[in-house]
Structure 1
């Protein structure tokens, strides 16, 4: 990776633009990578030194445009944060997290310093759907506090977890948020129809959210499950309230995702809803 890497421009002590034989122009982000360097000098790319490469033209341009608004020491700190996330998640992160999370955390720190707080209405869903990302996000919040003595509100954990999930799955935040909003709508419909309030910290809630998430993913990826007409007819007769509610949920999914839902999803949803009703 280092072969042929030469510095074209030093943006600050921690960020340089370099020439690469394969990617042409790249952005190198690393602690002290630009210190004492000038155009034409050799640039080293080494993961052990917490150095990251931006080869995407879009991410490179956005990152360079973001730099003037970010403190240089914070760029160094972001390197530590991103290296920690990558290590804990056990995989390389999509390049877009360098722009997205740097921008988000810088703004979140500014908000906290001005005592401005944003609520995160999807916090329970995020914690249930992405437990590992949520745990790592809590560690990031702790890192920020230890380094800067800034205490983030709980909602920020959810936002950071979404950025992490986006970076390890290559899904956009918009797509992830769209699914989370849909799942929240579906859970509310279950509660309203069954006249129950589901404890957001209960195992039942976790199971329901996970099941709805898998169902939404199957629909979005246009996966078809097997046709089980006899079982569907039996469930329709035995548990009509749950079966009808299952179809209400399916219709909401179809409308929001603008895709057909396989009829057998009604079977799985009915069984799950019956379990929930029986416990309630």
Structure 2
């Protein structure tokens, strides 16, 4: 790899033989005492990524005006999300997360701790993204010597969610989806007077179904009527069916949406499975 430009002591732009675009390489002290044209060896500790021309200029400006450690922490978090959970993230995450981490470091130096009102919902509904946030907390603690990092895990999770390639959602949609799913879970837990174990597969499966319901709600592509299926499940699982009716009523009153008998049938089925594994 040959240095094309030094962004700071830790970040350099390099050209690589047989590779059309330049790469951004990050490592502690990588650019220290180096100059353009120098060769640098590849190292497993290096973090490497590529940005489009339009974003590279923005990234260059950002790294020249932020704490150098912010970009390093951001890249560790991005790599963790992609490698541990195979999350596909767009290139904008390199900018937005670096900027956010720099803001965290700056705020904590002034004793400012932020709280996220959706922390609980995010931890229960977007578990993988929240675990990435917890990993980020560990990385930040090495720089910020504080036991209280507020709800940063939730803030990081939101950044991951907003930049996933496989999710075509805005922050407003994510917030509405979180509220929607949380409202349904509250109805079910209240009806059965239970607090469900979020580590159970049935809980995960139920939440995934609710995410699908929320997506169909946004797309106005809800399941059709299927009275035969619904009546069969009502007969088989009367209590879960009554709970599903409570859920349907809440959705109508709060979200002005009538869900079909088929949607209620699937809700009944997933609620029954949730309670079966819980017992």
- After TM superposition, the score normalised by the length of structure 1 is 0.70
Structure 2 counterpart of 1:178: 173
1:139 aligns with 2:121: no
Contact 2:187 2:247 survives alignment (8 Å): no
1:51 aligns with 2:53: no
How many residues are aligned here?
269
- After TM superposition, the score normalised by the length of structure 2 is 0.70
CA RMSD of aligned residues (A): 4.3
Deviations 1:191-231 (A, max 9, x none): 57997687486679766544311322455678776863312
Contact 1:254 1:261 survives alignment (8 Å): no
Contact 1:8 1:40 survives alignment (8 Å): yes
Deviations 1:48-82 (A, max 9, x none): 13222222234323322211321224444544444
Contact 2:8 2:31 survives alignment (8 Å): yes
> How many Å separate the matches in 1 of 2:269 and 2:39?
63
Structure-2 change in CA distance of 1:252 and 1:265 (3 Å): farther
Structure 2 counterpart of 1:36: 33
Q: Which runs of 5+ in 2 are unaligned?
A: none
Secondary structure class of the residue paired with 1:264 = helix
Match of 2:120 among 124, 130, 142: 124
1:246 aligns with 2:248: yes
Deviations 1:156-192 (A, max 9, x none): 11122333455565546x6365234234145437757
> How many Å separate the matches in 2 of 1:249 and 1:123?
22
Secondary structure class of the residue paired with 2:93 = helix
> How many Å separate the matches in 2 of 1:33 and 1:77?
15
> How many Å separate the matches in 2 of 1:250 and 1:36?
65
Secondary structure class of the residue paired with 1:69 = coil
Secondary structure class of the residue paired with 1:117 = coil
Structure-2 change in CA distance of 1:152 and 1:185 (3 Å): same
Secondary structure class of the residue paired with 1:8 = strand
> How many Å separate the matches in 1 of 2:260 and 2:20?
43
Q: Which runs of 5+ in 1 are unaligned?
A: none
Q: Quote how far apart the aligned CAs of 1:149 are.
A: 0.8
Task: Give the 5 Å matches for 1:181-196.
Answer: 181-185=176-180, 187-188=182-183, 191=186
> How many Å separate the matches in 2 of 1:166 and 1:11?
27
Deviations 1:131-171 (A, max 9, x none): 33323322321222133313443421112233345556554
Structure 1 counterpart of 2:209: 211
Contact 1:23 1:55 survives alignment (8 Å): no
Q: Quote how far apart the aligned CAs of 1:249 are.
A: 2.6
Secondary structure class of the residue paired with 1:28 = strand
